[in-house]
Structure 1
Amino acid sequence: MEGKKVERPIFPKKAVITSGMPYGNKELHFGHVGGVFVHADTFARFLRDRIGKENVIFVSGTDCYGSPIYASYRKLVEENKYEGSIEDYVRGNHEKQKEVLSKYEMEPNLYAASALDRAGEIHKEVSEQIFNKLYEGGYLVKLSSPQFYDPERKVLLNGRQVVGKCPIEGCTSEKAYADECDLGHQFMPIELIDPKSTLSGKTPELRDVTNWYFKLDEYNNLLSEEMNYLRTNSNWRKYLLNTIEEFLKPPIIYVKRKQLEEVTDLTSKLPKHTIIDEPKKPSVSFVFDNLSDRDAAREVFDKLGIRFRTGKTLVPFRLSGNVEWGIEVPDKEDLKDLTFWVWPESLWAPVSFTKTYLESIGKDKEAWKEYWLSKDSKVYQFIGEDNIYFYGVAEMAMFMALLGIEKDDKVNWEEINPPHLIANNHLLFMDKKASSSGSIKPPMARDLLEYYTAEQLRMHFLSLGLVKKSVSFAPQAFMEEKDKQGPDTVLKDGNLLTNVFNRLVRSCFYTAQKYFNGSIPKGEISKNVLDESNEAILTYERYMYNHEFHSVTYVLDSYIRNMNKYWVNNMRTAETTNDEALRKQVLIDSFHAVRTAITLIHPIAPTSCEMVREYLGVDERLWSWDYIFDNIYSLIEDVENHKLKYLEPRVDFFAKHEKQLSNE
């Protein structure tokens, strides 16, 4: 490539891409696909083109275990709406999820299920290995903590069978469970405000239950150091780092100023602490050195009848529970008959799936370490913002523990290669947060395909800029007529392909057939076209490296529209004046634009791009970035005799949905 030197991003030699795992009690809704999967699949496809598909593993799957799945299954059975086993129930939803992902042109190397088949077997092995390693390393602790008990139903309640208000100061969650709210805040069950049993609707009792916990609170300082390192030495999203750091505050109790007016000698009754009293704020902050001191202070405030809220801080991370539908925890000491809590085992499920995939292609499954631990590799995990605590805090700390890093160790962060998190903000529906368990029900992903093509939806979801803020998905196909204003925004970005680019590609083929005997004329590409193409490539690459997918779509939009304008203006002149030389040059330049654009579009709209490649008559080197700056002639063995596949009239490379055609 000629021209000025540009510092290009450096990609790993190997990569694993993971995507948040949907629960096994549901089909995929629009948020699963548009909020996470499209981004993960696009990046995985890009990396296959960029570093070689043999070096990229994209894994995801169904999160099979846990109380939500078991509760959904039991409800259906009790209502006589389902007769199969829970395994049958999960498998049915798993197969539906796989089917929908395929319809959206998703191509994971493995879409597994944590409880089923070989992936399930390996996942159980990995769960046991990780538990034993954490146990033997001294990173686990037995804690007896209160668990909710429904005296009317006479059963211990799992996490999702209790709902109340989040106790964390400033939390806006509309729903909190036994020890976490739906925004990811963690707390102890005793802190939940106004708890109610979902089984009976009554206020449950608290009974002490012993479980295994990971000593997450001991990693507060190391996690803070790691976030500081990543802030200046990586391309992690700043808002993601900020969110993680919010969880790393010291243990704090907030008390309304009015609550303290008649209290005397409070300081002597509390463990060592610091008071932050800012006159303009309604609450006084009591800051403690550790979690034990904070909990002792909570007891003091309770005895004095002082209401309070706790702040975000790290608490021990529960590994086990007593949900019947789960992976058994190895028996240690006097703790038996426990199962893994679904969140920790789902964090290492992608490792299990990587091992399963490697074994399925005839490789040693222990080669997973080359992808997850090697300095030449990188793991990219695409998640929603609600899951930042689990992936950005709990997973990162367990990652350090499994590497043998202890709380007081001095760490050379350049030697650590943690997973790279890409967290998207909420994808709203008609400006509201939708969830299958909430009042606003999300449309199912398969239902969208009744009105839009997969590639239109992929392009639209990428363009929304979830990296920056929560964005509303507002498909007019799901609006009432009175609410429709202007064009359908879902089609805006897809029209770049179905209208503008489709027209340019077709024009190139029809012109070659009419004037050049169905061949690409040979010649030099104009410098301005070559320069603009190369600039688009480099800009696109930088945005892909930084996972700024909305900016990727902007690059494509600008480049394709400019190349289309170049075609229209110059070919009109060539036709008007019958200038054969100009016609030939414009066609040479435009085929180079097509060659460049479909390589860049390939990760987003793979099927249509494959159709263009087939008609061009070139092999898959077209997708490889080893040849990204080469002209199309370098991909053709016999340029003089090469023929394009004949394009019949009115054939579209990037097609619209049939319902869109009927409405035109």
Structure 2
Amino acid sequence: MTVDSDRPKFPKRAVVTAGMPYGNKELHLGHIGGVFVHADTFARFLRDRIGKENVIFVSGTDCYGSPILENYRQLVENGEFKGTIDEFVQQNHKLQKEILDKYYIDINLFAASSFGPAAENHRKFSEEFITRLYENGHLIKMTTSQFYDPEVGMFLNGRQVVGKCPIEGCKSERAYADECSLGHQYMPQDLIDPRSTLTGKRPEMRDVTNWYFRLDGFRDLLVQWVERLESDESARKFMIKSIKEFLEPPVIYVKREFLDVVEKIKDKLPDFTLIDEGKSSAVMSFDKLEKREKASLILAENGVRFRTGKTLVPFRITGNVEWGVPAPCIEGLDGLTVWVWPESLWAPISFTMTYLEMNNRDKNEWKEWWCSKDSQVYQFLGEDNVYFYGPAEMAMFMAQQGKNPTVDPPEGQLQLPKLIVNNHILFMNQKASSSGSIKPPSARDLLEYYTPEQLRAHFLGLGLGIRSVSFQPKPFNPSASEKDSDPVLKEGNLLTNVFNRAVRSCFYTAQKYTDGKIPVRKISEEVIKESNETILEYERLMARFEFHQVMNLMDTYIRNMNKYWSKMIREADTTNNEELRLQVLADTFHMVRTAAVLMHPIAPKGTEMIREYLRVGEELWSWDRIFDPIYEFMENPEEHKLKFLEPRVDFFKKHPSQISQNE
């Protein structure tokens, strides 16, 4: 491989994760288009770039948690599901894996946290992880008020309480017991206008005791971590901005009409700084979270209307929901389960263990993948989950080091993953959510109108790393006319029309003029130059996770290949110049080979078909040989015959619904 000190560096080993979909439903548009396609593309690229034996891509069904329990309860109550909650989760896990397979998501292990080979590893690792947090002094036992519905005589889990988010400026459509739909965290007693989903009535607050992680004590280390992110060109700016909001000091926003009341009770309140900039609300800033919480109670008692601001709060580790991973018994606090969010953050570690075991390797080898500076973990997620994978996960991982953790974990300790956060996929310019009022097509529905590779290319081209983008498939757009083009096919047409035409032309011309062999020639300098520049730029863009720019780059390269072929082969045919025809054929096959390798992570089925017809081995994909001409992969180039391509065979096929009867 060409040596270039400016080229990006990649780790010796890599773990790729793609979030964890809840086990109460099939995969929706956001799962596939917003996370899994991007994660799979990058994992496939890494396999080509550093060797497939050095990459583990894991994810799985998030089996536990109140959303699943509540959804299951409602379905059983309505007679829509018969069976246990285990059977409910297993059914959805199977459906999720089916969709991943249909989209060519080549995941090493799609596990489940409550059943199957990974369940026991996950339970044991959860116990070890939490125990280590306690032993290192990073857990606190807190008695807090939890919602209780006296009419049904039970404590309510997180999704059985709905209200309005208390965080200032929050635009979420729905808030639950201690988090809203946009991921804001708050104490249950701060939820505005709570009501029970079981009875529709306002629940009571009753005391419960649980373990919490001292997340608010990690502010200084998280500030250092964010400073490192700001110098990392691959870290998305909107992600950094979102994380920094949680690192702000604890504040309370008070409506201006209540400032007189605040002044009167000032002596009862903890020390605070009042910031009054003449807006509708003034800001009360505190140096400690405990002071803000105390002030909130006093303000509420005096009838003051207020909202709290984003800040780091103790991160709940355990809960009282029966359906969950059993929590370790610490200090006699028994019978608790692990809250779903913490255990889902370390689940990929237990899944890595399970993958190693299933491949007859020592599961303790997981440390070489998660605790080594030679390795890197890449976590793909949606913007709603930044709080959990950002401040919460990073702090908990640092806390595993001991009582005095550092932002730069030593060898052998959990290293800090790299986060690749995507913005929302909108549907017809509105936020698409399976639980919201706008119902987008499911990932399964889309395959009735598009091929997986068309959709993969389109999702990558949306530019979700920059902003939220509207997904507007023509078959699901009631305002689209018959003459309107389908925006989803923009990137797909690059495959089915442009690239497909170039590859077919090369094979058919070789079959007609050179007995199905690639002419052995020195590749033209301008072709080598453009190909090598494209390879190096592609590598830089992949290292920065700029997938939309990768699609733009490949659009230019593949169209240039087509233009070169059309122009030069026409000249050869017009002048009957056999030598020129052979040179153009050799040049274009080199471009086909280059484009196939670069598109391999994006359109795996079509590019594998190209390799099959070239009749070369899988070493074609290796970046150790990325600049080698195609002849280097043939034992006897002069005699190497390509696989015969029958008429009207496509490497990149259109969906049957897109093919007119006249074609």
TM-score by length of 1: 0.97
In structure 1, the partner of 2:519 is: 521
Alpha-carbon separation, structure 2, partners of 1:264 and 1:139: 37
In structure 2, the partner of 1:649 is: 647
Cα deviation digits, residues 142-195 of structure 1 (max 9, x gap): 111111111222211101001100000111111100000011110001100011
Q: CA deviation at 1:266?
A: 4.1
Q: How does 1:623-662 map to 2 (within 5 A)?
A: 623-662=621-660
Q: How does 1:286-435 map to 2 (within 5 A)?
A: 286-404=284-402, 406=404, 412=408, 417-435=415-433
In structure 2, the partner of 1:91 is: 90
In structure 2, the partner of 1:42 is: 41
AA aligned opposite 1:421 = L
Q: CA deviation at 1:303?
A: 2.7
Specify whether residues 571 and 246 from structure 1 end up closer, same or farther in structure 2 by C-alpha distance, changes over 3 A only: same
Q: CA deviation at 1:247?
A: 0.4
Contact 2:401 2:409 in 1 (8 A): no
In structure 1, the partner of 2:260 is: 261
Alpha-carbon separation, structure 2, partners of 1:448 and 1:259: 52
Cα deviation digits, residues 84-107 of structure 1 (max 9, x gap): 221111111101111110010011
In structure 2, the partner of 1:449 is: 447
Cα deviation digits, residues 55-75 of structure 1 (max 9, x gap): 000000100011111112222
Alpha-carbon separation, structure 2, partners of 1:565 and 1:483: 32
Alpha-carbon separation, structure 2, partners of 1:600 and 1:303: 63
Alpha-carbon separation, structure 1, partners of 2:38 and 2:142: 39
Contact 2:398 2:409 in 1 (8 A): no
For the pair 1:7 / 2:6, whether they are aligned, the reply is yes
3-state SS, counterpart of residue 366 of structure 2: helix
In structure 2, the partner of 1:107 is: 106
Specify whether residues 626 and 70 from structure 1 end up closer, same or farther in structure 2 by C-alpha distance, changes over 3 A only: same
Alpha-carbon separation, structure 2, partners of 1:508 and 1:411: 54
Q: CA deviation at 1:500?
A: 0.3
Alpha-carbon separation, structure 1, partners of 2:483 and 2:185: 42
Q: Tell me which of 499, 504, 508 is aligned to 1:501.
A: 499
In structure 1, the partner of 2:217 is: 218
In structure 2, the partner of 1:118 is: 117
3-state SS, counterpart of residue 381 of structure 1: strand
For the pair 1:51 / 2:53, whether they are aligned, the reply is no
Q: CA deviation at 1:302?
A: 1.9
Contact 1:226 1:413 in 2 (8 A): no
Contact 2:634 2:640 in 1 (8 A): yes
Contact 1:229 1:413 in 2 (8 A): no
Alpha-carbon separation, structure 1, partners of 2:513 and 2:551: 33
Q: How does 1:164-175 map to 2 (within 5 A)?
A: 164-175=163-174
AA aligned opposite 1:560 = I
| Corresponding residue pairs, total | 660
Contact 1:59 1:110 in 2 (8 A): yes
16-25 or 223-232, which deviates more: 223-232
Alpha-carbon separation, structure 1, partners of 2:402 and 2:328: 21
Q: How does 1:465-476 map to 2 (within 5 A)?
A: 465-476=463-474
For the pair 1:239 / 2:220, whether they are aligned, the reply is no
Runs of 5+ in structure 2 lacking a partner? none
AA aligned opposite 2:190 = E
Specify whether residues 138 and 573 from structure 1 end up closer, same or farther in structure 2 by C-alpha distance, changes over 3 A only: same
Alpha-carbon separation, structure 1, partners of 2:500 and 2:40: 23
Contact 2:123 2:325 in 1 (8 A): yes
Contact 2:18 2:379 in 1 (8 A): yes
Alpha-carbon separation, structure 1, partners of 2:495 and 2:438: 32
AA aligned opposite 1:159 = G
Alpha-carbon separation, structure 1, partners of 2:422 and 2:194: 30
Specify whether residues 121 and 143 from structure 1 end up closer, same or farther in structure 2 by C-alpha distance, changes over 3 A only: same
Q: Tell me which of 457, 460, 467 is aligned to 2:458.
A: 460
In structure 2, the partner of 1:155 is: 154
Q: Tell me which of 476, 479, 483 is aligned to 1:478.
A: 476
Alpha-carbon separation, structure 1, partners of 2:260 and 2:635: 87
414-423 or 526-535, which deviates more: 414-423
Q: CA deviation at 1:234?
A: 5.7
Q: CA deviation at 1:592?
A: 0.2
For the pair 1:228 / 2:204, whether they are aligned, the reply is no
Q: How does 1:120-159 map to 2 (within 5 A)?
A: 120-159=119-158
Q: CA deviation at 1:653?
A: 0.6
Q: CA deviation at 1:120?
A: 0.8
Q: CA deviation at 1:53?
A: 0.2
Contact 2:274 2:283 in 1 (8 A): yes
Q: CA deviation at 1:536?
A: 0.6
Alpha-carbon separation, structure 2, partners of 1:622 and 1:320: 50
Cα deviation digits, residues 457-480 of structure 1 (max 9, x gap): 000000000000000111111122
Q: Tell me which of 550, 553, 556 is aligned to 2:554.
A: 556
Contact 1:476 1:484 in 2 (8 A): no
TM-score by length of 2: 0.97
Specify whether residues 299 and 431 from structure 1 end up closer, same or farther in structure 2 by C-alpha distance, changes over 3 A only: same
3-state SS, counterpart of residue 374 of structure 1: coil
Q: CA deviation at 1:577?
A: 1.1
Alpha-carbon separation, structure 1, partners of 2:68 and 2:407: 40
Q: How does 1:60-71 map to 2 (within 5 A)?
A: 60-71=59-70
3-state SS, counterpart of residue 488 of structure 2: helix
3-state SS, counterpart of residue 198 of structure 2: coil
In structure 2, the partner of 1:438 is: 436
3-state SS, counterpart of residue 640 of structure 1: coil
Specify whether residues 503 and 40 from structure 1 end up closer, same or farther in structure 2 by C-alpha distance, changes over 3 A only: same
Contact 2:270 2:291 in 1 (8 A): yes
Alpha-carbon separation, structure 2, partners of 1:348 and 1:290: 29
Alpha-carbon separation, structure 1, partners of 2:120 and 2:260: 60
In structure 1, the partner of 2:31 is: 32
Alpha-carbon separation, structure 1, partners of 2:301 and 2:72: 42
Contact 1:63 1:113 in 2 (8 A): yes
Q: CA deviation at 1:662?
A: 3.2
Q: CA deviation at 1:410?
A: 6.1
Cα deviation digits, residues 249-275 of structure 1 (max 9, x gap): 111111122211355444433212222
Alpha-carbon separation, structure 2, partners of 1:660 and 1:233: 43
Q: Where do 4+ consecutive residues of structure 1 move more than 6 Å?
A: 413-416
Q: CA deviation at 1:76?
A: 2.0
Alpha-carbon separation, structure 2, partners of 1:29 and 1:123: 25
In structure 2, the partner of 1:583 is: 581
3-state SS, counterpart of residue 101 of structure 2: helix
Runs of 5+ in structure 1 lacking a partner? none
In structure 2, the partner of 1:612 is: 610
Q: Tell me which of 478, 484, 487 is aligned to 2:485.
A: 487
Alpha-carbon separation, structure 1, partners of 2:557 and 2:639: 30
3-state SS, counterpart of residue 210 of structure 2: strand
Alpha-carbon separation, structure 1, partners of 2:251 and 2:387: 18
AA aligned opposite 2:423 = N
Q: CA deviation at 1:31?
A: 1.4
Q: CA deviation at 1:83?
A: 2.2
Specify whether residues 314 and 355 from structure 1 end up closer, same or farther in structure 2 by C-alpha distance, changes over 3 A only: same
Q: CA deviation at 1:277?
A: 1.8
3-state SS, counterpart of residue 660 of structure 2: helix
In structure 1, the partner of 2:185 is: 186
311-320 or 483-492, which deviates more: 483-492
Alpha-carbon separation, structure 1, partners of 2:77 and 2:567: 69
Contact 2:327 2:337 in 1 (8 A): yes
Q: Kindly, what percent of the aligned residue pairs are identical?
A: 62
3-state SS, counterpart of residue 201 of structure 2: coil
Alpha-carbon separation, structure 1, partners of 2:467 and 2:410: 31
3-state SS, counterpart of residue 377 of structure 2: strand
Contact 1:123 1:353 in 2 (8 A): yes
